[in-house]
Structure 1
Amino acid sequence: MQEPYQFFSLNKRSDWDKGSYYNLHMVDGGLGIHQTEKHGVYKVIQPGEMNGPEHPLDFAVGKGGKLFVLDEQAVVWSYDAENQYTEQLFRQGHELFTGGAMLASSGDTLYVADPFSERRMAAYSVSNSQQVWSARDWQGSPFYPLAIGTDSQKRVYTVIPLDMIIGVNGKEEVPEGGRIGVVQWSSSGEPLHVFQHDSLRLEQVTPAAELLKRYYTAVNTAGTVYLFDTSLKLVTCLQEDGRLSAQFSIAPKGAFAGLSIDTNNNIYIGDSRYVGPDEEDERFILKFGEHGEFQAKVSGFRGRTDKLLSGSRDWMYVLSGETGEITILEPQPRTLELPETLLPEGIYLSSALDTRSTETEWHRVQLEAAIPDETQVRLYYYTSDRNEQWLDNEYTDFSEYLNNAAIPLRDKLRATRDLWSEPITNPRDALLMNAKGRYLWLKLEVVGSERRSPVLKRLRVYFPKESLISYLPAIYREQQDEGRFLERFLALFGSYFQEMEEKIDHISKYFDPDAVHGQYLTWLGSWLAVNEDESWGEDKLRQLIRQAPDLYKLRGTRQGLVRMLQIYTGAEAYIVEYFQMKQMQEKSELRELLSRLYGDNPYCFCVMLPQDCIQTDKQRLIIESIINDQKPAFTECKLTLLQPWMYMDMHSYMGINTYLSEPTLLTLDQKSSMPYNTVLIDLDRDKRMDIHTRLGLDSELE
């Protein structure tokens, strides 16, 4: 047999933390690349697919992701994208609103704002299309809705000019300095609050019709209202108490439309520019932080945005006015890029592994990792008898240099690039060639894909170097080729023998029920003749294996049966044997009742368990099997389930299925009642309590 190896192991967080890692973090008990959620296309709904609206003008998202789509004829369609089912909510010619209406939805209510209709604001039930409420005036004058939004409390918000006049042409217009505000309406159509700020004023007289499609509004879960002015490219955030929480401008040039807020208060605004047929489409949805800091472009979607909504689970819905398509975006896991390389990867630099012996020949490395397809792990190593190395024109402690957070990773990679070995790809078990020295350092490059990342669970480095070639004649130990083929070939068998020897050395762990699981636990139970059933579960099976030696001594006894049932059910069984009933059966008035309940056979006993111990027929069969296996061979058993209430003249046991509550007056009928001082006594027991006191059996009411 080979001499035992020594090894260094990285298998828990404290081990990995001795080194430094970049774009990596602990996940699922191992080391993986940082990931985040980015929106990607879940489904693109074409107008023809909906089998109804040919030219969608507006839409809203209802409960369960159902879409409500408005077309040019003012027809509203309900479309279930998952089941591809379409139905009409409002047919052509309804005259409730026009094709210029704006939709919003919350719960089972569809809200419609229309500046061209008599009903400027209305709520409809989506179940029967009936109007719930409508509004035309605000503060005594007709209002002009410019945008609409809802929150989770079924409140609706409309952007309106707070100052409006009738111009010389008889049309509605906003005067110079006129205010723009957001009105909050209750679910019953009552105005609750007006969100406004002095900065939301128009610089010149503007016809109200020219303000359409200029404003968009959205509300977050905390009740903060967001207003986006596409003309000024200005986002204003107003808290529920009316205070201004943030206000920022969008720097990029171009045209924008749509506004949505996710559950983390990130702000999304769409690009609505026109792009020619020969131009590359670089229109993205822009993502901003809560306070207006630009974060990223939503790379999962390219195209024109005319309306942007957020749904449940932070899904986004995008309407393109060019094609009439509605694109559904879902948050999808994305691997973060390492800033130094702009690749979805992470790098780990270990501290020095010190053998405290110079010229140590390192043997091999084993890596336990989950490596999905299209990902890989590359391992580099460097060995030396000295910890100080010549780096950046000076001698420095190599371990300290690698783990110095103040030194940028780019500088570390540049300064050490000539020291590392050739990479070993996915080194589940690999030899360390020409690795000689007291110290060993490791560099791990964890390369992920766009959505997936390897996870490093455990890494072991073995030393000193041992080879089966040492057991061969001297002629085989002569290294005649640089590749040392024979040594590397025998290393395959050496690894197998080493693993086998380690299993033999640690064979005792397979006999510990607390250390094994799955099929090994079942196998261990078979050593003790434990017939495992999947309904037992591992926790109960471990208890059974631990107590098996004692249970075998008690087999066939009352105590052994109670303990077995308690392991399986978690409740203590109540057992009644014939000798306990024998004295009471001598009374003729109780003989028939006791025989019916407990039987009159001296070789028969009764096992009673709470009702909730047996939920299925399979559990009942297992309990009956346990009883048959543990009872004496010449006896019979009757299994009874105790209901969680009391019946007179049936199985009623204090503390088992019968409980004493606070004293109350018991009314027997409309004219009689039982007083508080009524006592249950035990006949022939000197009126002592707590000894078989059962109504109708051995006690009476006096």
Structure 2
Amino acid sequence: MQEPFQFFSFNKRLDWDKGSLYNLRIMEGGMAIHQTEKYAVYKVVRSADMNGPEEVMDFTVGQGGKLIVLDGEAAVWSYDAENRHTELLLGRNHQLFTGDGLLAARGDTLFVADPVSERRVAAYSVSNSQLLWAVEAWKDRPLYPLAVAADSHKHLYTVIPLDIIIGMNGKEEVPEGGRIGLVQWDASGEAVRIFQHDSFRLDERANAEQLRRRFYTAVSEKGGVHLFDAERRRYIAFDGEGAVTAQFGIDPEGTYAGLSIDTNNYIYIGDSRHIGADEEDERFILKLGSQGGIETRVPGYRGRTDKLLTDSRNRMYVLNGETAEITLLELQQRTLELEHTRLPEGIYLSAALDTTAAETEWHRFRLDAQIPEETQVRISYYASDRKELLLHGEYVDFSQYLTDPGIPLADKLGATRELWSEPIVNPRDALLMNARGRYLWFKLDVVGSERQSPVLHKLRIYFPRQSLLAYLPPIYQEMQDDSRFLERFLSLFGTFFQDMEEQIDHISRYFDPDAVHGHYLEWLGTWLAVSEDESWGEAKLRQLIKQAPELYKLRGTRQGLSRMLRLYTGSEPYIIEYFQMKQMQERSELKELLSHLYGDNPYVFCVMLPQECIQTDKQRLIIESIINDQKPAFTDGKLTLLQPWMYMDMHTYLGINTYLSEPTLLTLDQRSSMPYNTVLIDVERDKRMDIHTRLGLDSELE
């Protein structure tokens, strides 16, 4: 080429910040459209899919995300939605509770609250259906649970009427002004705390049965306890000690059901209205802020809500009692819409790029971007020798106008519509036609899809215009009409030559281990005979390449081998050579043991490493290859892994993989302790896998 190009580069936050961004975010590695997480349907589980329960009365989420379902005949089923596997946990006619029970679960514990059974609140083991604890009354009063929830510590929270009496008809009633509160039960079934507030009192006398499906509760991952009165649309939140942290009413009016709290402390309630067969279903789940107020509706679900649950991964589970369906919703990335156009796109308006030379003819754009299918990047430009332009009847500084945050985007686009060039779509490498002037401005229109956005890594604008046309005979340069086509055609080869020259000029960058990564780093590793399939990892491989000159000088020495192994494993190896134990081998009582541990060949040494340094057979092979490459000539290396336990006459070393400690008592409480030599065991020949099954002890093979 005649002379090197100059260019403006946009690849850092400081570069992009000089312009105006609309619905765009600058992140590590580039610029993209703003995205957020929104709930979308992941799976719909119907009663017919579960091949067990004919109807769904209630459900909860158990260990591993399995659904635990209660049917109308009080049978309890476990359903693995991922593998479509159903298992019966409790069959019919067990007489432990009825189909009116309320379910909650944490870990391997299932909680059932049933206001019409003998055991009003009970905890069962999911693995064997064993009753763990049960409660029939509370403070010598009838216990009438209205809603349940459980936390990560296996504490159960039940909504109950705190003031309850037996009416003339023999049924439980709550008097006017009766309190509704939450009782917290610990893992052993003891009531440890009561959550209550004066705002949760009944306005009039009511049968306890009438309060069912009115109150809902949830426990957040942060320890907050939440209570919702669907009839009065009142919400209250307590901290773990019972202090009120928030309370508010919910507008607009409606019929609501369900309550769940995600890990970000957002509140979700559902719409449980009945609609006609010919009505459009406009029932949504509402998302509330921590201080009330409807932030948005969850667009991923439409339908009736009878129960809501949110797990630790923010998956939402919705029970629709009308259709007997449980819908699983999960958060998915969604591209935000630009407020001006209501489309998933972003706009960038640059400040002026100044070449300091008038009549500069700009050369080309070069864009390094990741552009998924169904997305686009469109770029337009405008060049001029003047910074001031006539807009709205007055001269304004064009850069200040484009970057002024006080001017709406719609006004900027409307006033400058005639100035911009025709947009270039996905300009990986494009010539700038008819772009002449000292200053250049450009507009980026980044168009995304519902879930994806282009990511712009780097943008370069080259100047001045240089063309291979100058190397052709004058007759080709004088053909003005045809020379434009010829110039564009030759620009393809010009780009190729320019890229090749830039690579040659910066070839040293490819040999710098701190500047390269990925494939180039692995390629540098092959110079040291490190194959690409070896599991060195980038950080270790980079250090190996940097230390290679010094390590090469130490090759074949104990120090060199030790440094190589320390570099790969991150641990200091223990190297035992024959001369170190030669005197001990002269003693007959130690000779056999030392020969067994280290060998009796004077040309064999032993390398010992902790077991945690080698996780796979592949890593073991790499370490053995390092020993073979780095060992002195005419010697052999033996690799030994140090196990983390004491085994006499084996590789047991005090302070390395074995420690002596003083025995201590296991203190059960202030009055009881257990000696250190006590063994606890429960021998039951129940022959069930994963439940204390030990071959030869409580099970056997036949």
Which bin holds the TM-score, normalised by the shorter protein? 0.7 to 0.9
Is contact 2:262-2:312 (8 Å) kept? no
Residue identity in the other structure for 1:125? S
Contact 2:34 2:335 survives alignment (8 Å): yes
Output one character per residue of 1:605-639: Cα deviation in whole Å (capped at 9) or x when no partner. Answer: 63645455666665565555555555665x33354
Counterpart Cα distance in 2 of 1:315 and 1:48: 22
Equivalent residue letter for 2:135: A
How far did 1:576 drift? 4.3
CA distance in 1, matches of 2:587, 2:165: 101
In the alignment, what sits opposite 2:493?
A: 493
Asked if the contact 2:251–2:293 (Cα under 8 Å) also holds between the matched residues in 1, the reply is no
Match of 1:184 in 2: 184
SS in 2 for 1:509: helix
Cα separation, 2, equivalents of 1:187 and 1:608 = 50
Cα offset for 1:494?
Answer: 1.3
Contact kept in structure 1, 2:467 and 2:494, CA below 8 Å: yes
Take 1:159 and 1:588, find their aligned partners in 2: how far apart are those partners? 78
Moved more, 200-209 or 419-428: 200-209
Number of aligned residue pairs: give it.
Answer: 658
Q: Which amino acid aligns with 2:8?
A: F
Q: 1:381 to 1:242 in 2, by over 3 A?
A: same
Q: Note closer, same or farther for the CA distance 1:468–1:107 as it changes in structure 2 (3 Å cut).
A: same
1:85 correspondence with 2:85: yes
> In the TM superposition, what are the counterparts of 1:27-426 in structure 2 within 5 Å?
27-426=27-426
Check conservation: 1:530, 1:545, Cα contact below 8 A: no
Whether contact under 8 Å (2:142, 2:172) holds in the other structure is: no
Q: How many angstroms does 1:238 deviate by?
A: 3.1
Structure number, greater radius of gyration: 1
- Structure 1 residue aligned with 2:461: 461
Distance, in Å, in 2 between the alignment partners of 1:138 and 1:652 is 58
**Counterparts of 2:590 and 2:237 in 1: how far apart (Å)?**
83
Q: CA deviation at 1:150?
A: 1.9
Q: Sort the Cα spacing of 1:306 and 1:564 in 2 relative to 1 into closer, same or farther, 3 A.
A: closer
Cα distance change, pair 317–553 in 1 and its aligned pair in 2 (3 A):
closer
2:636 counterpart residue number: 637
Instruction: Report if aligned partners of 1:575, 1:605 keep a CA contact under 8 Å in 2.
Output: no
Larger CA deviation: 38-47 vs 106-115: 106-115
Q: Deviations over 1:51-106 (max 9, x none)?
A: 11112121121121222222222222222222222233332222332222222222
The Cα shift of 1:499 comes to 0.6
* Letter paired with 2:81: A
Task: Indicate how the Cα distance of structure 1 residues 482 and 325 shifts in structure 2: closer, same or farther if over 3 A, else same.
Answer: farther
- What TM-score, normalized by structure 2, do the two folds share? 0.84
The residue that corresponds to 1:513 in the other structure is 513
Structure 2 residue matching 1:417: 3-state secondary structure: coil
CA contact (8 A) 1:149 1:219 kept: yes
Q: How does 1:496-645 map to 2 (within 5 A)?
A: 496-524=496-524, 534-549=534-549, 568=568, 571=572, 574=575, 576=577, 604=603, 606=605, 608-611=607-610, 622=622, 625-626=625-626, 629=629, 635-639=634-638, 641=640
* RMSD of aligned alpha carbons: 3.5
Q: 1:618 to 1:206 in 2, by over 3 A?
A: closer
Match of 1:442 in 2: 442
- The residue number in structure 1 matching 2:20 is 20
- In the alignment, the residues of structure 1 paired with residue 253 and residue 305 of structure 2 have an alpha-carbon distance, to the nearest angstrom, of 15
Instruction: Answer whether contact 1:104 1:112 (CA < 8 A) is retained.
Output: yes
Of 375-384 and 535-544, the range deviating more from structure 2:
535-544
Q: Partners in 2 of 1:359 and 1:485 — Cα distance?
A: 22
Residue by residue, what CA displacement relative to the aligned partner does 1:147-192 show, whole Å, maximum 9, x if unpaired? 2222222222222222233444443332222222222222222222
CA distance in 1, matches of 2:585, 2:216: 90
User: Matched residue of 1:313: which SS?
Assistant: coil
Q: What TM-score comes out, normalization by structure 1 length?
A: 0.84
Matches of 1:414 and 1:369, distance apart in 2: 28
State whether residues 578 and 600 of structure 2, in contact with CA within 8 Å, keep that contact through their aligned partners in structure 1: no
Task: Name the SS of the counterpart of 2:88 in structure 1.
Answer: strand
Structure 1 92/17 Cα, relative in aligned 2: closer, same or farther at 3 Å?
same
Q: Which amino acid is 2:160 matched to?
A: I
Q: Which stretch has the larger CA shift, 371-380 or 229-238?
A: 229-238
Q: Is the Cα contact below 8 Å between 1:585 and 1:594 reproduced in 2? A: no
Q: Is the 8 A contact 1:175 1:204 kept in 2?
A: yes
Partner amino acid, structure 2, of 1:246? A
Note if contact 1:234-1:247 (Cα within 8 Å) is conserved in structure 2: yes
Gaps of 5+ in 1: 663-702
**Greater alpha carbon shift after TM alignment, 395-404 vs 40-49:** 395-404
State the alpha-carbon separation in 2 of the partners of residues 254 and 294 from structure 1: 13
- Structure 2 gaps of 5+ residues are 662-702
My pick for the range that moved more, 223-232 or 460-469, is 223-232
- Give 1:101's aligned amino acid: G
CA offsets per residue over residues 331-360 of structure 1, 9 Å max, x none? 111112222222222222222111111111
Cα pair 1:62 1:68 within 8 Å, conserved? yes
Identity among equivalent positions (%) equals 65
- 1:573 deviates by 6.8
